[in-house]
Amino acid sequence: MAKTIDARLPGVLLPWYDGVKRELPWRENREPYRVWLSEIMLQQTRVEAVKGYFARFLEMLPDIRSLAECDDETLHKLWEGLGYYSRVRNLKKAAITIMEDHGGNFPREYESVRALPGIGDYTAGAICSICFDLPTPAVDGNVLRVAARLTEDFTPIDQPAVKKEVGAALAAIYPQRAGDFTQALMELGATLCGPNRKPDCDACPCREFCRAFQNGTAEQLPVKTPKKQRRVEEKTVLILSCEGRYALTKRHDGGLLAGLWQFPDFPGQPELPAVLEKVEELGLKPREIYKQVEKKHIFTHVEWRMNGYYLEVSEPEGPYTWLTAEEMDAQAAMPTAYRQFRE
């Protein structure tokens, strides 16, 4: 990645941003708690999907203290469906740290913000620039895409050194309106110069000094290292019901989807007789098989291929918590991988 970005960038980008910026709930003010929450929610998640979660979360947990004191069941339920649950667990850990180490006040120095659980270089840069107008770039995929096109650099943007070089190049040209400049870069990378679309170079305020536009290479950029093929895991999921209640079990506190509720499952996809045998091994007596469905769920590095069996059993026994559908919806935070069997 080229080590310099044209110094004209702030001068053209800020007026453009002032005229076209989207009205988003987390842009209503620069209160650090709101900005922090939005940045964590927006990781790996679409803007439209986040809006509702953001409003509900703030209604239940309006400040750092309420987040720090929130029980895990309520926290997971508020986050249900957003995925990447380690994000919300780290939110609570960071809130506790702020209460204990910073007197309940969000820290204003970059290094102190960066030291909070779950906050990396990007999130710390976004918070410090947007909330405190510090010249701390927030370099994510959108900004890397913009930088690759501005400088016509074909170095794969997922190389760690590239992110550091782009951050240093942007820091060298940061204007006094640091927060608006950070958001303007985000806006450009999410709209005109967005992913999975043809860049709208004709409407871009940077086209006069964008090297990729000048040389007709914008659609070839950015370059990424080819992804490794995802590992595939097969699972059998048991949707066990008895008199209007369903069997749920809670995942262990460590690892993927820690602490969340799920339907019972086991590895592999055996034929039906083996599935029924497995149910009996759990101390349950199958009475009726309603249906069998196939689902899949894709994580970053693994794909789950899931066979789901809907079974009525004679007694609500076994090492499970039995809940009605209403209780399940109100109380049990369930990851999307299993919630897709909630029919």
Catalytically active residues are 39
Instruction: Find out whether 341 and 311 touch, Cβ atoms under 8 Å.
Output: no
Hey, is 184 helix, strand or coil?
helix
Nearby residues of 192 by Cβ (< 8 Å), 6 or more positions away: 199, 200, 201, 203, 204
Cβ atoms of 169 and 5 closer than 8 Å: yes
Question: Is cis: bond before 267, omega within 30 of 0?
Answer: no
Report how far residue 205's alpha carbon sits from residue 274's, in angstroms, rounded to the nearest whole number. 63
Q: How far is CA 284 from the centre of its chain?
A: 38
Phi-psi region of 156 (alpha: psi -120 to 50; beta: other; left: phi over 0): beta
Question: Tokens 């951050």 sit at which residue?
Answer: 167
CA angle 216, 139, 75 (to 5 degrees): 130
Omega of the bond leading into 319 within 30 degrees of 0 (cis)? no
Helix (H) / strand (E) containing 255: none
